[in-house]
A and B are shown apart, each in its own frame.
Chain A
């Protein structure tokens, strides 16, 4: 099975989809030179500048024009460069794209993939580091996904391009170079989580890069005799409640970890939904960033990080603090 990076896995998916369907095209700043993270390198040579289209620094127009082109019969892949910059196109995404199908009584679709590289990437400071995935889960009409591995970045990109709904596709900037095996025949459905580790004692729920940190934490916990089950949600809307419920029924303990600010993060949604449905042995816990801003200086930036040791410690505490 081929081994490739998280960035190349998505690129392969895009290239295959573009070969299969001439209406698929990509648009964003700097794509003709491979994109700011080189996740489009080589595509303009194969598909030409019309289908791997450069764009002015006009996020609202990139999003809005791609939407218009989607309604006219194409399937655009929109590159927002940084998730932070996508905020310049919020009206286009939230008021237009997400609502068009409903407002127009089902007359239109917006089959679009909106790529928004997210998350902390060393010393990128407050405007190039955010994790805003929970915002989009709040908007009916959007699919939201956060792949954490090369395999998922391949398979979910394929699913996103094939989907007739607009998909907010959040790739984590810190793991572009992560390598892993990619099976091109493997499909992933939205709303189907990945069981990354099995365990009987505590359920760790996460997504994006933090899911990988949960796997690290589970390996540490295993050496201490604690069986942590790691569920990588992969997509947040829809999210795989059945898998999480089944796991928490087994373990009786739930810890949700994410990089985003804890307050009103998607962890709150997961914890609340599980608490409404499944009796637990201990109080559930969520772990996210303090409600602070991400700084430039590495030591200040680290104050906002959720790390593998923090996840492991929180899980240990849940085991220790169990009521008699």
Chain B
């Protein structure tokens, strides 16, 4: 890598964020498998950490993001608190959604992370709408909508991207292409090319290496600045690879033997950035220290979550709706 313009401080910050995302998910996986503390399905983004990190570092706190069922990384990168997130995964009091949503509905409106989503592609129209709301209210925020390659085969992809184009909305659609739709190779179920679909809908479209956080962050900086300036939607294809299975308990035996190992060895965004930082002269101790720091943070988060109580039973009936109590009116 050409290190002439390499920003070492930014590199260290990005490495730390990616290590935090990885450590969060590995800790959650361990909590699920070893201790059965995480009860529902969780979808890991191991191998995809650069997409969340490289793009979201260009956002302001009051910009919005919307995420997918694989949303821990986006949520952490937007600034959500790891303790509250871990409690949510364990379904405990103090979780960012009070234990009502779990991993697939993780959200932190305080940092304008408007939710992961259990339905593939459903966040695309909602994200376009958040940008529509910004425009109606005369705000200067932007929206970033993350979705996977598989989502491009759902109707809301067409409807939501078209909507953003028609109304000229300040939104960046990020197709985080990890190449798999659950256990199916996306290319087997996709006619044509996803980026071409966005181009056909009139959006300026950029294709990027989603595992090179340095170049991705620079690309995203240009795109987000342009969207903020012009209020015009754009589309970013970020090519990455899902090293883990679809869920934490998916052994992913449908993949060609050795594929995940080969991809991890050659494209893991954390390994690649570590290599660059080492070339720039950062010591192995310092690099390892960032990983250790991240793991210690997530261990503490798990300890806190393990000790947290279950939510009070009556909260099952709270925050359903203002009009018509779920208990009182029902019988």
Contacts and interface: CB of A to CB of B under 8 A. Distances in A.
B97 A107 contact: yes
B129 interface: yes
B246 to A, nearest CB: 20
Interface string A47-78: 00011010010101101111111111110000
B119 A96 contact: yes
A102 B160 CA distance: 24
B128 A61 contact: yes
Nearest to B135: A50
B125 A104 contact: no
Contact of B163 (A23, A65, A72): A65
A108 B109 contact: yes
A103 B101 contact: yes
A61 B164 CA distance: 10
Interface stretch (A7-15, A140-148, A281-289): A140-148
A60 B155 contact: yes
Contacts of A58: 158-159, 162-163
Interface stretch (B204-212, B213-221, B315-323): B315-323
A143 B329 CA distance: 12
Contact of A68 (B99, B109, B131, B159): B131
A107 B258 CA distance: 43
A101 interface: yes
A175 B162 CA distance: 35
Contacts of B243: none
A225 interface: no
A273 interface: yes
A103 B129 contact: no
B137 interface: yes
Given A61-B159, A96-B122, A104-B97, A141 B136 contact: no
A95 interface: yes
Nearest to A167: B323
A71 B100 contact: no
A219 interface: no
A64 B125 contact: yes
A104 B105 contact: yes
Nearest to A54: B166
Nearest to B156: A60
Contact of B126 (A64, A101, A191): A64
Given A73-B133, A140-B326, A102 B320 contact: yes
Interface of B: 64, 66, 95-101, 105, 107-110, 114-115, 117-119, 122, 124-134, 136-137, 155-156, 158-160, 162-163, 166-167, 318-324, 326, 329, 331
5 contacts: A64-B125, A64-B160, A102-B319, A104-B101, A237-B329
